[in-house]
């Protein structure tokens, strides 16, 4: 229904949030999801509601309505092998236009010992994706970081903290590919000058080492 309302409002697509501990992510987590019906237990069951939402949007929205999914590995006890399997299935299903993998740090190695030896990012860029576009987020803070991520084979990337610090990061990069972003911590006044509201600045002050 949220997708239908978005389409009626004039949006060209939506992203289903299956990450960061929100309700769909809670279904996906074997630790949080303790159901004993068809929505709990196996990965197939825990991801059932996500596929039902996808199918519902595809059935009731326009054929060209853009649909993406946001997932995150590791946090909330998400097992990497399961999220990789889900990501692979989604990208090969033909039902979604893009997959948005939100990682706290794309450059780090996985937390699980059996998956160490390469970056968390590369575990997902190595997956088959058919026509689905793969995007990532996670500690991409400099132009050099962005270039390294793109070189690993993603289709696009997202800036979180970097865009909070520089609302015009892409334009700065376009003018000067070697520009150096401001170092944290930064002042409340600086964040206000970048367009953050008082409430947003207060929220960011809870991020260790971000606000002076």
Q: Taken in order 119, 123, 129, 133, is the CA torsion positive or negative? A: negative
What band does 117 get if pLDDT is binned at 50, 70 and 90?
Answer: very high
Reading the block at residue 43, the tokens are: 């990965």
- Strand residue runs (E) in 76-184: 98-102, 133-137, 156-157
The rounded distance, in Å, linking the Cα atoms of 110 and 114 is 9
Residues in the chain: 212
Encode pLDDT of 92-108 as tens digits. Answer: 999 999 999 999 899 99
Reading the block at residue 68, the tokens are: 């993406």
pTM listed for this prediction: 0.91
Encode pLDDT of 24-59 as tens digits. Answer: 999 999 999 999 999 999 999 999 999 999 999 999
C-alpha pair distances (Å), 136 with each of 14, 148, 149, 182, 190 = 17, 12, 8, 22, 27
Q: Which fold would CATH assign to domain 2-164?
A: TIM Barrel (3.20.20)
Encode pLDDT of 154-196 as tens digits. Answer: 999 999 999 999 999 999 999 999 899 999 999 999 999 999 9
The pLDDT score that the predictor gives to residue 78 is 87
């Amino acid at each position: 229904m949220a997708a239908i309302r978005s389409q009626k409002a004039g949006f060209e697509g939506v992203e289903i949030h299956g990450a960061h501990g929100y309700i769909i992510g809670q279904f996906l987590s074997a630790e949080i999801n303790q159901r004993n019906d068809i929505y709990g237990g196996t990965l197939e069951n825990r991801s059932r509601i996500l596929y039902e939402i996808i199918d519902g949007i595809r059935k009731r929205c326009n054929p060209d309505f853009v649909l993406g999914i946001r997932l995150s590995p590791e946090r909330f006890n998400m097992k990497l092998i399961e999220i990789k399997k889900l990501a692979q299935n989604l990208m090969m299903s033909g039902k979604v236009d893009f997959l948005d993998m939100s990682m706290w740090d794309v450059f780090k190695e996985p937390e699980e010992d059996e998956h160490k030896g390469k970056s968390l990012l590369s575990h997902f860029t190595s997956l088959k994706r058919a026509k689905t576009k793969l995007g990532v987020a996670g500690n991409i803070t400099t132009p050099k970081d962005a270039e390294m991520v793109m070189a690993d084979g993603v289709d696009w990337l997202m800036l979180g903290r970097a865009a909070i610090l520089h609302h015009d990061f892409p334009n700065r990069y376009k003018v000067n590919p070697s520009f150096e972003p401001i170092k944290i911590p930064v002042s409340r006044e600086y964040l206000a000058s970048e367009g953050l509201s008082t409430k947003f600045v207060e929220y960011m002050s809870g991020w260790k080492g971000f606000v002076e």
